[in-house]
Structure 1
């Protein structure tokens, strides 16, 4: 266990270090930063490293085996109603548990937190049921994606502009560090029951469909819920003068995030306990291991959320604001791209997805190739988001062509890449995006006098969109490589046949 933890810490350091260096360089060049704010950021980075390592280890030994076990057991009940009911409950519980959703709900005060959270949770629950039925009944993923994204864009035409960006953002934030490991593992478990040639491909795609549900739900909320328009809560930078005050800030805030993570994990643990009592899926040794894993997950997620919310959120807002006021606001685009490129590597759920992909494909799609594709995608999305902040162009001019291209590619790439690509879109837009990139865009938008609700919100949605393109392009490259190898094998077999025939003729 110690060796594995060291590997996880090393992985976390390599993920968090680049963004830390970028912020440090900016603070001594373009955007001088108060010492207290910098101390908050560095302390937050340290908590991120430890928290991400513990969380990653915890999900490997708790969430993943539990999700796979439930996924493998569900179809064996042979009662479709019970399967649907259990899946709906799981979807709602893990969504309410998602910390990213709490952050987004807190930034949209015109809608009560509970109303927004439950709306999104029901949306995810219903689409989680749909995703499970798709896996069991072998329904083509690309067909469902085309139908429901068409409904999303048609429905968005009837919603106030202030709600559109929030709705698309909600699709990204619901697939974060709590949701993704559990949903992906459950998908693997469901696919393992089928055992046919397409089961591996259909193990992906659950996250993709679960990302559509909240978008539709919030769009409907925007039509029927009576408000005076969506507002937002401005980010405040704590006034910290020395290291003692910085430490006090973290100590004061930590209990709130411990409570938040407990509220998130306890319903999942209780559900898993009831599941175990009914089905007796795991033996005593496995349960002990899963229990230890949940402790690691709880500790890691508590430290991670404290680090990003207390240390990273104010710094993201401050940097965006100062860059916009520097007289060189055009720098927001290339710097946003650089930050986005490295920030996605610090998303906990991204590493879960990459390991799952490498395992399912037996190394055919490496973690390195996945991470490079995701980084390029997120860099492009943040660059376009900063362009929106500077120009105020509508989010439709980016999302509509982007999704049309992504859906068009589903007909050209191997099926497994469609599932992986649309899953990766939800995974890339996790807590780092919500607590650093969104405040970064909000700070810049406020400084430039733009409309935060229409110009800054939507960055999460764009981060969720671009990996759909880059991962499917990776699929095209993979397909071309496989075709070349197959052609080489055929040529080699033909040569061997010719040699054999020539030898026979000579005899």
Structure 2
């Protein structure tokens, strides 16, 4: 990013410390990332109501202020994850399985899953929606969102915690992911059928339950769950996996190990659905329809301080973030009895920003990417490793891959590595590594990792639902854990080390407060207004005397196209999707390109949101969408490879971030209010399952086309061994 590089150079010329300049650059990139996620969607909605309905946004000043709060809040919040949450999560995930029995490890994973759920920014969007549900129309939905909102969030957390447990067990026991998906989705579909036909009064909760599955997979839950699961995998099978990688790399045969890091997002999306469904079923046995309708209103004093904005947003933010941070510090100090790891507010420093600014140092990294390459005197003394027949160990979003090829890798000037984060090591080291692996040791790269080591990253490493463990910008060791500047050992607890921790916690609190304000005055406000206006394009809506604004066919087309564009733009702006695309591109050795996956997912989400809008606007049954789409997804999964199946199902989780969810939920509620529907949930459900289908279809068509294509004579095969070792 030229302007970010220029900003960094300007700060250095003014005498700012190098670390401060690097930190400002990181914040600027993060701010740009969040701006690109929020502004296009907001502009699209504002221009739609201005051009086609000649309406201005309600309280435009509050809308602008709310969006600014959301952008700054997400910037600070994601940086707090980099500073404190992810280093602690990785330390816990690495050390907990080694020091605690399995039962204790699984229980702690359950508790962390619950706490992560409360800390998810998108989950806060459920609170303002509770006031929009009418008790007389949907009594069970009303009681869940109002009187039992805290049990609802706790149930979602139980689902995420259960996903953490199953993910750990899967990593340890090498369970087939296809079977895990089938086992997880079957009870969800059974409960859905019961709520649709066994007790029709529970139908309004059906959309809420499936939408909650999309809400949970955000920037907090997925990184922590990945760290826990991968940590468990390392302790039980790290030596075996490393030995298998080296053997396959040297011998050039065998199957590629499946991506063990994928799949946990799928579990975190499905099990909360089941938890919410079970909560609704239990409440139906306790309360009848008349009990809920005649139930006295909850005693809420509207003038109480904790119910007045902005104090309300502050209270919710503290309740969401602080328990998770306190619990993780407690686990580190008193349960696994490790010192707090060496934390750093500033990212790893690139000492040649001036060269990068003038175009000689590579592209800017993502705001949450791993640090840019650092070239030191120690690196300069390293011999060039660019001879033929070398083994490349490349890292993409915490993913390690070993590739044998005949072409020599090119290195850039001053010993830096090519973009993409590839490390070149000579073949003569394979034998010594294999011996180390056979003796039970760990496979290490040739260079030492320390304060002067290269931090491998680049544009590929971005915050992601599936690879969000790479969101920390601190240097990492070869096994994916944090590489501490004191030689790989965590620093002793001290005030100097506590300051970054406290700073990160404080930034997380401020960021969540600002994001909650953005929800109240930005996302929910504009989404509700658009949801009320779009149906007026083709039908008469109370409160809009000029409705319908257009003929029926044109109005319906305008509404569906607007929702389609909203889904496409929102998905395209998700940073996690780019990470997933790059990972798939490496896994398929370029056959499944990043752009192909990204646009497959974007189109899938856009089509799914359009289908969800028709469900609300025209009263279609959600159960038909659920059974039809998930049935199609399961059938396609059967014919897909293990790797692509897990990636496709994980793509359902990366499409719903803290920006997309509030817009979609509030728009759906606005639709329901305009057309008088019972409830406005289900758009996220359809948006989540559709990319599974599109990705699997594209992959099947791609493999079919490759099978029919003639192989070029004399082409040398490239053998790649990939394994997910994120964490």
Normalised by the length of structure 2, the TM-score is 0.59
CA distance in 1, matches of 2:644, 2:50: 42
Q: What displacement does 1:361 show?
A: 7.0
The DSSP-based 3-state class of the residue aligned with 2:638 is coil
8 Å CA contact 2:81, 2:508 repeated in 1: yes
Change (3 A) 1:354 1:2: same
CA distance in 2, matches of 1:360, 1:262: 37
Change (3 A) 1:387 1:164: same
1:491 aligned onto 2:714: yes
The within-5 A match list for 1:245-260 is: 253-260=309-316
Change (3 A) 1:188 1:319: same
Give the equivalent residue in structure 1 for 2:211: 169
1:70 aligned onto 2:88: no
Give the equivalent residue in structure 1 for 2:226: 184
CA RMSD of aligned residues (A): 3.2
Change (3 A) 1:80 1:143: same
Match of 2:270 among 208, 212, 215: 212
Q: What displacement does 1:366 show?
A: 7.2
Q: Give a deviation string over 1:326-352, Cα, whole Å, max 9, x none.
A: 324412211111111112345xxx424
The DSSP-based 3-state class of the residue aligned with 1:492 is coil
CA distance in 1, matches of 2:512, 2:709: 43
CA distance in 2, matches of 1:297, 1:361: 33
Give the equivalent residue in structure 2 for 1:283: 341
8 Å CA contact 1:69, 1:186 repeated in 2: no
The within-5 A match list for 1:216-365 is: 216-225=274-283, 226-228=286-288, 253-277=309-333, 278-280=336-338, 282-285=340-343, 289=500, 291-326=502-537, 327=548, 328=550, 329-330=555-556, 331-345=558-572, 350-352=574-576, 354-355=578-579, 358=582
CA distance in 1, matches of 2:524, 2:271: 27
Normalised by the length of structure 1, the TM-score is 0.82
8 Å CA contact 2:609, 2:684 repeated in 1: no
Give the equivalent residue in structure 2 for 1:464: 688
Q: Does 433-442 or 195-204 show the bigger shift? A: 195-204
Match of 1:140 among 172, 176, 180: 176
Change (3 A) 1:469 1:463: same
Q: Which has the larger radius of gyration?
A: 2
CA distance in 1, matches of 2:661, 2:35: 21
8 Å CA contact 1:316, 1:436 repeated in 2: yes
Larger relative helix fraction: 1
8 Å CA contact 1:191, 1:199 repeated in 2: no
Match of 1:110 among 123, 126, 143: 143
Change (3 A) 1:431 1:322: same
Change (3 A) 1:417 1:168: same
Give the equivalent residue in structure 2 for 1:244: none
Q: What displacement does 1:125 show?
A: 1.8
Q: Does 474-483 or 176-185 show the bigger shift? A: 474-483
1:408 aligned onto 2:635: yes
Q: Give a deviation string over 1:439-470, Cα, whole Å, max 9, x none.
A: 21222222223222xxx211222222122223
Q: What displacement does 1:299 show?
A: 2.9
Q: What displacement does 1:262 show?
A: 1.9
Q: Any gaps of 5 or more consecutive residues in structure 2?
A: 1-22, 131-140, 196-201, 246-255, 294-307, 345-496, 538-547, 718-727
Q: Does 70-79 or 388-397 show the bigger shift? A: 70-79
CA distance in 2, matches of 1:129, 1:335: 40
CA distance in 2, matches of 1:299, 1:478: 46
The within-5 A match list for 1:418-457 is: 418-452=645-679, 456-457=680-681
Change (3 A) 1:371 1:12: farther
Change (3 A) 1:467 1:127: same
The DSSP-based 3-state class of the residue aligned with 1:263 is helix
Q: How many residue pairs end up in the alignment?
A: 468
Q: Does 362-371 or 215-224 show the bigger shift? A: 362-371
CA distance in 1, matches of 2:706, 2:77: 36
CA distance in 2, matches of 1:122, 1:479: 39
1:149 aligned onto 2:205: no
8 Å CA contact 1:131, 1:210 repeated in 2: no
The DSSP-based 3-state class of the residue aligned with 1:109 is helix
Change (3 A) 1:467 1:186: farther
Q: What displacement does 1:290 show?
A: 5.1
Q: What displacement does 1:478 show?
A: 7.0
Q: Give a deviation string over 1:87-143, Cα, whole Å, max 9, x none.
A: 111112212333433433652431221222222222322232112111111101110
Change (3 A) 1:124 1:13: closer
8 Å CA contact 2:192, 2:623 repeated in 1: no
8 Å CA contact 2:34, 2:75 repeated in 1: yes
8 Å CA contact 1:414, 1:475 repeated in 2: no
Change (3 A) 1:35 1:467: closer
Change (3 A) 1:6 1:430: closer
8 Å CA contact 2:564, 2:606 repeated in 1: yes
